[in-house]
Amino acid sequence: MAGVSNKFAFIFATGFYTGLWPLKGPATFASFISAIIFFFLSNTLLNELYFLLVIIVFIIVGIWSSDFTATDNDKDPSKVVIDEWVGMWITLLFLPNSFAWFLVGFLVFRYLDIFKPFGIKKIERIPGGLGIMMDDIVAGIFGCIILNLINVFVK
């Protein structure tokens, strides 16, 4: 049974292996893949409320699986990208379902995730899976607020 949970934790933490494919830039690749998934699901199957519930489940399982996958030698492995999935999805919440918003959301989230302004950098100090997930969750929240404010004022 432990082998099954180890395998599931690894698969989930690596964003269903999206954190393993590119040798450079796994976070950007995973963010892009997760944005495509969000775009597809939000246009076909899920409204914002259901997607918010999916995000909550991904946060909970992401904290566990990230904590499980991190090691003493590598506390935030680059292959762990489920945090990018969640941050990207939060960024895109409540925006119009269009390619333009998809692209802008991707760029804004990647900027916030890479440069970590607004105190996001300090959140990385939280140990374990919670720290791995929280900086991207906060980056996603900032991205969501910024883009939704722009959307309101551009209309």
Q: What is the pLDDT along the chain (155 residues), one digit of tens a residue?
A: 567 789 999 999 999 999 998 778 999 999 999 999 999 888 777 788 888 999 999 999 999 999 999 888 888 899 999 999 999 999 999 999 898 999 999 999 999 999 999 999 999 889 999 999 999 999 999 999 999 999 999 87
CA 75 to chain centroid: 17
- Centre a 10 Å sphere on the Cβ of residue 28 and count the other Cβ atoms it contains: 17
pTM greater than 0.85 (yes/no): yes
Take residue 19 and report the two structure tokens written for it: 């954190």
DSSP 8-class letter at 81: -
pLDDT at 56: 97
Tell me which residue has tokens 């998934």.
37
- Centre a 10 Å sphere on the Cβ of residue 77 and count the other Cβ atoms it contains: 17
CA 99/CA 2 separation, integer angstroms? 42
CA 28/CA 23 separation, integer angstroms? 11
The DSSP line for 34-59 is HHHHHHHHHHHT--HHHHHHHHHHHH
Domain ranges of the chain: 47-154
